[in-house]
């Protein structure tokens, strides 16, 4: 449980909260921060859902959805983003049938039953949930889509997502982790290639992140959860 700040402590204002590379990420983590001061969990996610529901750009500890409503809409977002158009048509037909057969759902959110409403609330529209989740900016370098490693680390630490290294070169003798993807042939080849590109023999690590799909554009699968892991070779100067 988060401990509220002392009475004399002033919370950081949104205008002064510039820890990340884009406004959507700053808003998300700032709202998560101010909600935590009032013992409200998942304030960032719930703020995204509130804005998708009411189509208003307002941010404070009260402009958040209920936790069950946030979970419902995020599950629906994941489902629709991972399905084909035809699969979603079936999904929306099922949701429409459930609404027609029931006397009503105990929820403050609208249940989407067609592509237009789903895009407005769930996907990549101005207020869509998927389009407003925190992410690191993508840029091109040599024809490749790239993200800032420092930016990715900021997101990982802010989400309390653990990181690990394939090879710890700052420990005497080195420590080689061969668990899971760290021990696969592809990682062996990647680590060997990275060392070949390192003529000055600087310490080399391969950073492994868990569930990086929380950043849209960062992963090819763009899922919200799962066992996907990304490995990025990095050079660490002495």
What does 69-94 look like in DSSP terms, one character per residue?
A: HHHHHHHHHHHHHHS-HHHHHHHHHH
Helix ranges restricted to H, the chain: 23-36, 43-54, 67-82, 85-101, 115-121, 149-158, 185-196
pLDDT in tens, 12-32: 888 888 889 899 999 999 999
* Cα separation of the two ends of the chain: 39
User: What pLDDT score does 45 carry?
Assistant: 93
pLDDT in tens, 79-129: 988 889 899 889 888 888 888 887 766 666 777 777 778 878 888 788 889
Sorted by sequence, the CB contacts under 8 Å of residue 53 that are 6+ apart come out as 65, 69, 108, 109, 110, 121
Comparison of pLDDT for 205 and 195, the residue scoring more: 195
User: Does the model's pTM come out above 0.85?
Assistant: no
pLDDT in tens, 49-70: 999 988 888 888 999 999 998 9
Q: Are the C-beta atoms of residues 17 and 34 closer than 8 Å to each other?
A: no
Q: Are the C-beta atoms of residues 187 and 177 closer than 8 Å to each other?
A: no
Comparison of pLDDT for 229 and 8, the residue scoring more: 8
For the chain, which residues make up each domain, given as ranges? 1-134, 138-235
Structure tokens at 129: 């949930």
- If we measure between CA atoms, which residue out of 214, 204, 32 comes closest to residue 134? 214
**Structural element, H or E, at residue 176:** strand 175-176
Work out the pLDDT band at 146, boundaries 50, 70, 90. Answer: confident
């Amino acid at each position: 449980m988060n401990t509220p700040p002392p009475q004399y402590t002033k919370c950081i204002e949104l205008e002064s909260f510039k820890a990340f590379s884009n406004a959507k990420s700053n808003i998300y983590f700032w709202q998560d921060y101010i909600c935590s001061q009032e013992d409200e969990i998942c304030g960032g996610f719930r703020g995204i859902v509130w804005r998708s529901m009411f189509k208003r750009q307002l941010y404070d500890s009260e402009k958040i959805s209920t936790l069950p409503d946030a979970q419902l809409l995020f599950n629906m977002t994941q489902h629709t983003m991972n399905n084909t158009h035809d699969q979603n048509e079936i999904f929306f037909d099922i949701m429409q049938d459930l609404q027609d057969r029931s006397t009503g759902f105990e929820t403050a959110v609208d249940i989407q039953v067609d592509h237009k409403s789903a895009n407005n609330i769930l996907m990549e529209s101005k207020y869509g949930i998927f389009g407003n989740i925190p992410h690191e900016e993508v840029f091109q370098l040599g024809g490749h889509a790239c993200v800032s490693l420092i930016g990715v680390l900021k997101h990982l630490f802010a989400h309390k997502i653990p990181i690990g290294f394939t090879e710890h070169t700052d420990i005497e003798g080195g420590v080689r982790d061969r668990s899971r993807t760290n021990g696969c042939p592809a990682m062996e080849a990647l680590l060997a290639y990275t060392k070949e590109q390192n003529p000055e023999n600087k310490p080399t690590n391969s950073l492994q992140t868990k569930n990086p799909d929380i950043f849209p554009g960062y992963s090819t699968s763009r899922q919200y959860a799962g066992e996907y892991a990304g490995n990025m070779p990095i050079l660490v100067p002495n």
